[in-house]
Amino acid sequence: MTFPGHFPTTRLRRLRQKQWIRDLVAESSLTVHDLILPIFLRTPEMSPEIPSLPDVKRFTLEELPSLVETISHVGIPAVALFPVVSSSLKTDRGCEALNPDNLICQAIQGFKKYNPALGVITDVALDPYTTHGHDGLLNNQQIDNDATLDVLCQQALIQAQSGADAIAPSDMMDGRVGAIRTFLDQKGFCQTLILSYAAKYASSFYGPFRQAIDAAPLQGIIDKKTYQMNPANSREALREVSQDLQEGADMIIVKPGMPYLDVIHHVSHTFQIPTLAFQVSGEYAALIAAGQKGWINTDQAMTESLLAFKRAGACAILTYWALKMAKHLLCK
């Protein structure tokens, strides 16, 4: 690519001198339609506060009407639901994930009742439900990939039956998108979207989330590195995405977000498919904490980070800042 022009004829600062011209030549923009709000759901005996995620609350089913109203009022198009499962319901095999009356299924029905037009995305993975904290079934200190697929299909089905619009497998088992797509189609849910966490890295940025859902401490000699991706790799992300697309994924998530902007760029430009970024809990917590210390301006840093996802090629962003961002965009 060649760029015409030489100083002093070409002065790029001319394009930056006033807000109107900066707006006019902006290459990317952030709107409320880009935002997805992750929501934690709890039962009444649990605390609403999440110490590691300031200003993010866990909600009960009773609180859904007012929550839905707030979200709908600002125009956020979709929510992503995550349950906090009481430790008394956690088992080795995560059976509560398959209970059609579990917290998440009731929450899906609640959201659909209070605003059927609001998109509901649900997580498919076993970690909130297992006593060992893993996303899959643990067998002899290994995550049993193929046995896990059967459970994930059942979990996806009860979520679809409850009214979920999009199923988001975040477990990173091989072959899960194809298995879930086939199973949902057989059961008559061919319109349920699959939003695959195709490029999900084994990241320390998930720490506050694991506290938020009260995930059991990881047991055994293995950690999530045997199924989540190595942060060193980006070509491998393209293989993951390509495979999930062949298996029937409609959209792709890259996660975490900011440390993986290059991956968002590669994926969205290579495949030209809806690519979503997840600004995960640790990213949110870090920006809030630095703001609380007076070291950065959190509002501005959030706006800049979310815009960066758009510039990198994301079509939408999951962010705990979605409500604040939406309110800010409305006032502009």
> Cis before residue 8, ω within 30 degrees of 0?
yes
Structure tokens at 225: 């590195």
Least distance in angstroms from the C-beta of 106 to ligand PBG: 20
Structure tokens at 135: 């996303």
Q: In terms of CB distance, is 206 or 321 closer to ligand PBG?
A: 206
Would residue 200 show up in a list of annotated catalytic residues for this protein?
yes
**How far is residue 324's CA from residue 76's CA, in Å, rounded to a whole number?**
11
Q: How far is CA 329 from the centre of its chain?
A: 21
Footprint (CB under 6 A) of ligand PBG, residues 277-306: 280-281
**How far is residue 128's CA from residue 133's CA, in Å, rounded to a whole number?**
7
**Which range, of 19-27, 87-95, 107-115, 204-212, touches ligand PBG by CB under 6 A?**
204-212
Rg (CA), the chain: 20
DSSP 250-302: SEEEEESSGGGHHHHHHHHHHH-S-EEEEE-HHHHHHHHHHHHTTSS-HHHHH
- Single residue of 129, 183, 189, 209 touching ligand PBG by CB under 6 A: 209
Least distance in angstroms from the C-beta of 80 to ligand PBG: 9
Pairing of strands 142-143, 138-139: antiparallel
* Interface mask toward ligand PBG for 162-201; x: CB under 6 A: --------xx------------------------------
Q: In terms of CB distance, is 21 or 123 closer to ligand PBG?
A: 123
Structure tokens at 22: 């900066």
Q: In terms of CB distance, is 223 or 304 closer to ligand PBG?
A: 223
Footprint (CB under 6 A) of ligand PBG, residues 87-146: 123, 125, 127, 135
Q: In terms of CB distance, is 68 or 173 closer to ligand PBG?
A: 173
- The answer to whether 145 and 175 are in contact (CB under 8 A) is yes
Least distance in angstroms from the C-beta of 297 to ligand PBG: 22
Q: In terms of CB distance, is 29 or 142 closer to ligand PBG?
A: 142
Least distance in angstroms from the C-beta of 127 to ligand PBG: 5
3-state class of 188 per DSSP?
Answer: coil
User: Which residue number places its CB atom closest to ligand PBG?
Assistant: 209
The verdict on 260 binding ligand PBG (CB under 6 A) reads no
Structure tokens at 144: 């049993």
Identify the CA nearest to 274 among candidates 294, 290, 298, 254: 254
The identity of residue 137, as a single letter, is L
Least distance in angstroms from the C-beta of 209 to ligand PBG: 3
Residue count, binding to ligand PBG (CB under 6 A): 12
Q: Give me the helix-helix angle, 298-312 and 281-292, nearest 10°.
A: 150
Least distance in angstroms from the C-beta of 143 to ligand PBG: 12
> Of 90, 112, 224, 255, which one is the catalytic site residue?
255
What H or E segment, with its residue span, contains residue 142? Answer: strand 142-143
> Of 200, 225, 293, 332, which one is the catalytic site residue?
200
Least distance in angstroms from the C-beta of 306 to ligand PBG: 15
**How far is residue 294's CA from residue 108's CA, in Å, rounded to a whole number?**
39
Half-sphere exposure of 316 (CA within 13 A, CB side): 20
- Single residue of 59, 111, 129, 206 touching ligand PBG by CB under 6 A: 206
Q: In terms of CB distance, is 114 or 259 closer to ligand PBG?
A: 259
Residues with catalytic roles: 200, 255
Binding residues (CB under 6 A) for ligand PBG: these are 123, 125, 127, 135, 170-171, 206, 209-210, 224, 280-281
